[in-house]
Every structure is written in structure tokens, then in C-alpha cells.
Amino acid sequence: MLESIEISKFGKWVGQKFNLGKVNFFFGDNESGKTTIFDAFVYGLSNPSGTSKIGRNIAERYGKGKKDKLVQIQGKVPEGIVPEEFINLHTLKAGAIAWDLKENSSWLDKVKQELFSGGIDPNNIVEELERRSKIWANGTFSKPITNLSLNIQELEAKLKSLISEKNSLLQEEKNLQDASLNRDKTLSSIRKLEEKLEETKKQILQEEEANKLRENKQNYKSISNWKEANLTLEGLKQFEKDRSQELAGILKSIQESKIQMENKEKSIQNKEIEILNLRKVLEETKSKYEKEDSLEKLARINQDKILQILRSPKLITQTNWNLSYLILALVSMILGSILAFLDIQEKSTLFLLGLGCLALGLVFLLFARSKEILQDSAYAVQAVRDIQREWKQSTQRSDFENDKTLDELRESLILFLNNRSNQKAHIDAQKDTIQKKEAEKLSLQEESIVERQEAESFAKKLESFLKELNLMNPDEYSKKRTEYLFAKEKKISIETSLKERYKLNSQEFENFLKDTNREIESASEKGISLPKLNDAEFQSLKYNRNQMERELENLKKEDANLFSSATNLKAKLDAQLKPLSISILNIQSELIEKQNERSSLELSLEATKEANEIFKELALDASDTLRTLAEEISISSNNIFNENRTVVINELKDDKMEMVDKGNVKRAIDKLSLGTKDAFYIAAKLSLCSKRDPDLKLFLMDEPFLSLDEERERKSLNIIKDYVDNKGWQLVILSKDYQLRSLVQEIFQSDCNLVDLNNLTV
């Protein structure tokens, strides 16, 4: 299997390497390099010579020098691959799928050598036998019979042509009579149509004059409306300039000033209420604060007392006993007493040991006793109670009843004094807030005075505006301005309509006004009435006139053509009919002579055909190989077409290979439709490759299914899949078809190696 193709330089591809798998799909748009990759495979595998057709084609596209074409293919590459064999058996390329079956083709001779024993084609044997049979049995008669047959065919064709020409002339003679009758009918139709056309034109002229009168009366009405609009514009000339925005601005300013004044007044009232509330709160807070001035003095006195007690506390002495040392002293004394008592008479070592234990017990007793100087806690508790009692008697309040120690009481007093300081700061902050609010109130009052002055200025401006335009109130301006604009639009509309309708300039428009009145008076004097037909009927009448004019013109042309044709046809019949009859009689006589002569020669030739049939039977057994190949192609074709399509191969030539088409008719391969022919060659190449079992098992396909529908594409790919999965073949497809891309991925799934050429940088 091929592992990769590395293109160092070949066409548009430079320094590009493509890794290959079992199934490879090179996808890309037009001019993305697909055909270049196809040719690179052909060049890299078969290295065609510059004199071969394939080599010349590659040289023309990519250059003659070897430096212009550097391709290296990695993997198992067999040696001696013949370019023509590779192209005809291993590739499928759009527009060139068929085999190249020319005589003396080296690849075809090699295939025959592999298929037929000794490389002998049984069909060639049959041809040789037929040639010898004809030489032996027909050396004298075949050429004269053939020449006579050709002469007879020529005479029969010529006779048939002359008889056909004579029948045509006789038919033309009949046509000449029919043409004369038709011309008489045409002339009668022309006269009637001319009378009807003249009457229609007269009626149209009357209607046009009546329409002109109606149009003038309509114009007169438009002119009256124009004059009325012009008078209105003169009366409302002061409203020509659009001052609605100016008025809207004044009204908006007045409204905004009014709203701002109201907002200022409300803000001032709110500030006054807010200041009153703040003053009330301040008085309450201040009164409460002043009531507790005596408490603050008492708290400070008590705080000093506590500090004095904490700085000079009352001390007491306390004796403490260590239990461990007491136990050791007691044990030592008891042990010493026992030992001394037991040996008191002799006063030996045991007695001395007892005295030592007693001494040690005394030492332990000294260590067990210790003295400690402490503050008198009872005194501190009593001091706390005295301060609490004094506070309660003086204030009638129980603020510090939960405090147990001097430190807790001191902390509570500090907290009380801090609260007093915070209250004082809060009172000062309230005073500052009231001062700020009063300053804000003063600022709002000053702004209110300015707003009132601006409102008075805008009111005077509105009064001046209304007086200038002679209006009673602002609403009246909108009505007058609308009336002016309506009159102006009406005047312009009427004037523009009339100018456009009659293509008038300003000076011509003035004359038009005068002429309209004169034409109305003139029509009245002539007695012209209003039109009898409506617009649709009048247009229909004009349409009928145009139709009759065209019909009359066509009838006159037809009459001229009939006259010309009849004259020419009569001259032709006079010149050709009689000589043609004489020629037919002469050819009939010559044809009878040639037919008699050929019959005589054919009797002599019949005997030679029997010998030829004997030689044909000798070659039947040698055709089994072609029949087997045809059966294998039939099986693959049936899978593609999903119906029985029998294939017959008499010889490896396009006109000697046949297939049954959809209508169950056996046709030569070169007579089949393009799609059916491509499907046949796909099946044929697969079958022939399988039968030969070549060393290189590769299918290279460039847009192979352009002429196949989706169903045949799917079935062809399924057949190829069997070759890939079960016979070890490798597949390379190059295409721009999204549908084929999806189909290949669906059928081959994980085996498909997709290369998107659109995303590669060349």
C-alpha cells in the first residue's frame, strides 16, 4: 500500500506532503490543484517518457525539464508500471473513463497476453479464417457483386429522390391553384377591412374633439381652483414664513418657567417645613441634654473616686498551705517517730535515721507554709455598692446596678460620659444643618425671583408675536398656517399638473390660461358635444383601429407574397416537370439491368459461405475467456444499475462490446448514453483488474461520477468498498462534489482520510 506522496515541485504544489490511508478523498473547489495531484500520481508511479501521449500531455502542462517535476511516493511501489496500462486500468477521470482500444496498443497486447493462452485473441483467429475463406471462395465474385450492389443502391436512391421530387412538383402545382383561390379571398378581405377602418377613424376623430372639449372644461375648473388658491395666498402672505418653531419655543419657555416657578415655591415650602422640624428636634435634644448636666457632674466625681481606690487599694495578708509539702512533712515525721521510738534505748543508726526523718518533716512543713499580700476585695465590693446607692439616691435611676466590680463600674461611667459628648456633638451638628438649610432656602428664594422675571419676559414676547401676526391666541396661528400651506400646495399641484401634462414653462402657462377659455367658446360655437364613450371604450376603439391597420398591412403583404410565389412556382413547374419524367424512365431501365447481373453473381458466391461457417466453429471454445470476463462485468453492472444488464464481449473493441440498455435492447458500448457508458467502464475496469491481480492495487479517480446519479454513485462505491475491504485495494478520489464527499465518509467511515485542499496554503 502507498504510504504518502511528497510533491517537492509539480505544477502549483511546492514542498507539500500528503499522507495516504486505505481510502483518501482530496476535496477542493475548481483550480484548487486536484488535477495536478492526479497527474503527480501518474508521473510518480509510471514515469511516462516524453515521446508517449501521456508524457507529452504532462510536459505541456508542467514543463519538459525533470527539475520542474519532482514527485516521490513512499510505500510498496512495484517496478516497471506501464503508463498506458496504469491510465486504462487503474484510473477513472471525468471525460476520459473509456479504454484506449487502438490497434497495436502495448497495454492491450499485454492484457491479451495475460488473458489468452499464448497471447492469441480468438476473435483475431475468426477474422483470419474469414479473410482466408473470402480469398479462397470469393476471389472472383466479391468485388463485382459489391460494385453492382453499390450501383443498385445509388440508382434506387436516385430514383427515389427523383420520384419524390416529381411528387413534390405535382403537389406544388396543386398548391398553385389553392394559392390563386386564397389570393381572391385576401383581396376581398382587404376591401372590407379598408371600409371598416375608414369608419373607425372617423368615429375616433369625433371622439378626440369631444375629449378635447371635456379636457378644456376640466382645465377650466382647475384654473378656477388655482385662482382661488392664489387669492388665499395673498390674504395670508404674513404666514409664508414658517414660525411655528419660534411660537413653540416661546410657549415651551413660558410653560417651563411656570413649572420651574411652581417647583421653586414647593421647594421653598419644603425647606421651611424641614427647618421647623429640625428646630423642634434640636430643642427636644437640647432640653434632654441640659437636664442631665447634674448627672454628668456626679459621674465625673464617682469616676475620680474609683481612680483613687484603684491607685491606693486596701491590702491584707493571707497564709497559704501547699498540700503536697504537708503530706511529705506528715509522712516524714510519722516515719521518724516510729524509727526513733523503736531504737530509743540503744541509740543506734536506726535512731539517728528516725531523727533525720523528723528534721526532714520540719523542713517540708516550712516549705508548705507561704504568705501572700492581696487587695481587700470586700472593700472594693463595698465601694461599688456605695457609689451605686449614692447614684440611685441622687438621680432616682438604676443605670449601674449590673456592674459588680470597680473596673466594670468605671467602664460604665466612661460610656455614660462618652454618650454625653456624642449628644453635645449631635446638637452642634443639628445647628450646622439648620444653618445650611436656611442658606439653601435663601438661594431658592433668589432663584424664584429670577424665574418670575424670565416668565414675564416670555409672556411679553408671546404678546408681541401675536400682535405682529394679528392673532387672538396661539392656537389660531396653527389654523392660519395650515390654511396657507393648503392653498400653496393646491396652487402648486394644479400648476405643476398642467405644466407637466402640456409640457409648459411659466410664460407658456400664462398663455395656456387664456387659450383654454377661447377653445371652450369655439367648441360651443361648432356644436361639439361631450364624448359618448368612456375612457375604456375609447381606448378599445383606438386599439381596434391599430389592430385593423396591422391586419390590413399583413393582408397586403400576404397578397404580395401569394402573387410572387404563384409567379415563381408556375415558372418552376414549366421548366422542371417534363425533363424530370424522362430522367425517371431512363433510371428505371438501368436499375433492372444491374439487378439481373447481381443475381447471377450471388448464386456463384453462395457456395463459398458454407466453408466460412466451418472455420468459425473452430474459434468458439477460445472465446470462453472473454465470455467469463463479460459475465463478471455483468455482475458488477447489475449491482450498479440494480437490474439485469447482460454484457457481451466479442472482442476488446468499443464496437465489439455490447450491453443491454434499460429498454432491454442490446447496444454497442459506444452507442450507450454517457452515464450508462461510464457505469460500464467502471464495472469493466474493476473486473479486469481483479482478474489480472496486478502488483499495484490502486484506484485513482478524478471526478469519476459526474455522469452518474446519486443511487449509481452509492452502488459503485459499495462495489469499490468490497475491493478495499476484502481484496486489499487502495482508493484515491479527487472531487469538488460535497454530496460525493458526504457519501464517501458515510460508506468508508473511519477508513476515509479527508484532505481539504481549500484550507491548504500553496
pLDDT at 731: 93
CA dihedral 321, 327, 333, 336 (to 10 degrees): -150
Question: How far is residue 732's CA from residue 700's CA, in Å, rounded to a whole number?
Answer: 5
The answer to whether 375 and 313 are in contact (CB under 8 A) is: yes
What are the counts of helices (DSSP H) followed by strands (DSSP E) for the chain?
19, 13
Q: Which of 356-365, 382-391, 393-402, 497-506 has the highest mean pLDDT?
A: 356-365
Question: How far is residue 645's CA from residue 637's CA, in Å, rounded to a whole number?
Answer: 7
For residue range 496-539, what is the model confidence (pLDDT) as tens digits?
877 777 777 877 777 777 777 676 666 666 655 556 667 777 77
Q: Which set of grid coordinates corresponds to residue 233?
A: 395666498
Q: What amino acid is encoded at 710 in this protein? A: E
Q: Which of 346-350, 499-503, 648-652 has the highest mean pLDDT?
A: 499-503
| Three state DSSP letters for 518-551 | HHHHHHHHHCCCCCCCCHHHHHHHHHHHHHHHHH
Tell me: pLDDT of 401 over 70.
Answer: no
Tell me: pLDDT of 418 over 60.
Answer: yes
Determine how β-strand 69-75 pairs with β-strand 2-10.
antiparallel
Q: Which set of grid coordinates corresponds to residue 329?
A: 512533712
pLDDT at 753: 92
For residue range 451-482, what is the model confidence (pLDDT) as tens digits?
888 888 888 888 888 888 888 888 888 888 88
pLDDT at 618: 40
For residue range 4-47, what is the model confidence (pLDDT) as tens digits?
999 888 888 888 999 999 999 999 998 888 899 998 898 888 88
Tell me: pLDDT of 709 over 90.
Answer: no
Q: Which set of grid coordinates corresponds to residue 67?
A: 527539475
> Which are the contacts of 511, defined by CB distance < 8 A and separation ≥ 6?
none
pLDDT at 297: 79
Strand segments, DSSP code E, in 296-441 are 315-321, 369-375
Percentage of residues in the chain with pLDDT exceeding 70? 77
What would the DSSP string read from start to end of 311-327? HS--EEEEEEE-HHHHH
Q: What is the mean pLDDT of residues 717-737?
A: 90
Tell me: pLDDT of 137 over 50.
Answer: no
The SS3 of residue 732 is strand
pLDDT at 415: 83
Lowest mean per-residue pLDDT among 279-293, 598-612, 688-702: 598-612
pLDDT at 622: 41
From the list 636, 753, 757, the residue with the least C-alpha distance to 689 is: 636
From the list 717, 708, 636, 638, the residue with the least C-alpha distance to 94 is: 708
Q: Which of 28-37, 227-236, 247-256, 377-386 has the highest mean pLDDT?
A: 28-37
Q: What amino acid is encoded at 381 in this protein? A: V
Q: Compute the Cα dihedral for 207, 208, 211, 212 and give only its sign.
A: negative
Q: pTM of the full predicted structure?
A: 0.39
pLDDT at 607: 44
Question: How far is residue 39's CA from residue 702's CA, in Å, rounded to a whole number?
Answer: 10
Question: How far is residue 708's CA from residue 168's CA, in Å, rounded to a whole number?
Answer: 47
Beta partners for residue 753, in sequence order: 24
Residue 222 or 718, more confident: 718
Cα maximum dimension of the chain:
202
Block residue for cell numbers 435634644: 285
For residue range 477-487, what is the model confidence (pLDDT) as tens digits?
888 888 888 88
Lowest mean per-residue pLDDT among 250-259, 333-342, 370-379, 448-457: 370-379
Predicted confidence band at 140 (pLDDT cuts at 50, 70, 90)? Answer: low
Tell me: pLDDT of 58 over 50.
Answer: yes
Neighbours of 395 (CB within 10 A): 14
Q: Which set of grid coordinates corresponds to residue 300?
A: 465625673
